[in-house]
A and B are shown apart, each in its own frame.
Chain A
């Protein structure tokens, strides 16, 4: 009984995370500078990773965690690469 209640809690929290991620799209679309957009997409990617982990735990599908790990890696690479390529001579980090 507790296990089902726990799954429901995790699914509800995942749904609320989806709402927050959709709200983040506003900054990705309307952000005045390129850096605003990259930052919004980066935060959105972190939210996606958390949603994937919550779904993996609630639905008892451990293979989704592999996707979450790779998504986090690509998200970090995306942010650093775009930051580097928007600067002349690539001087970030």
Chain B
């Protein structure tokens, strides 16, 4: 019984992570400029990787490898938005124009 619940939780976490990584891939491929792409890369991709790593940590159970996976989860959670922020900031400082409409308003 408890094994079935654990198996279901693992499948839900891993497939949820796959879904959010799919959303992030579609966003990076289809969104119009660097800033929108950095947004989807920092949010959807972090959530996808975090959910998948949580599912794998649950699948590994109580052993030393789980510690590595949880450490990796926290590491990805901290570094992925930081890297996307650095990339967007470097785009702003090297003069990449954000996409605006005719009046110069942000779309």
Cβ of A90 to closest chain B Cβ, rounded Å: 10
Assuming the contacts A13-B14, A33-B96, asked whether A24 and B90 have C-beta atoms less than 8 A apart, the reply is no
- Among B25, B68, B71, chain A packs the most CB atoms within 10 A around the CB of B25
Residue-wise, chain B 76-98 has the 8 Å CB interface mask toward A (1 for contact) of 10011011111111110110100
Assuming the contacts A13-B15, A42-B41, A79-B87, asked whether A53 and B56 have C-beta atoms less than 8 A apart, the reply is yes
A-B contact count (CB 8 A): 152
> Among the listed B75, B90, B96, which residue makes an inter-chain contact with A83, where contact means beta carbons less than 8 Å apart?
B90
> Among the listed A5, A47, A69, which residue makes an inter-chain contact with B68, where contact means beta carbons less than 8 Å apart?
A69
Interface residues of B in 24-49 (CB under 8 A from A): 24-25, 28-29, 34, 37-38, 41, 45, 48-49
A42 touches B87 (CB 8 A): yes
B25 touches A20 (CB 8 A): yes
B79 touches A39 (CB 8 A): no
Size of the A side of the interface (Cβ < 8 Å), in residues, is 50
Assuming the contacts A62-B68, A65-B72, A66-B68, asked whether A20 and B22 have C-beta atoms less than 8 A apart, the reply is yes
Residues of A within 8 A of B88 (CB): 35
Residues of A within 8 A of B60 (CB): 57
The 10 closest A-B pairs by CB, nearest first: A79-B83, A83-B90, A35-B91, A62-B65, A76-B79, A65-B68, A83-B86, A20-B25, A57-B56, A87-B93
Interface contacts beyond A13-B17, A43-B41, A93-B85: sample of 13 additional A-B pairs, CB < 8 Å, sorted by A:
A2-B3, A6-B7, A16-B18, A17-B52, A23-B25, A39-B41, A40-B28, A53-B72, A56-B65, A57-B65, A62-B68, A72-B79, A91-B93
- Residues on A lying within 8 angstroms of B by beta carbon are 2, 5-6, 9-10, 13, 16-17, 20, 23-24, 26-27, 33-36, 38-40, 42-43, 46-47, 49-50, 53-54, 56-57, 62, 65-66, 68-69, 72-73, 75-76, 79-80, 82-84, 86-88, 91-93
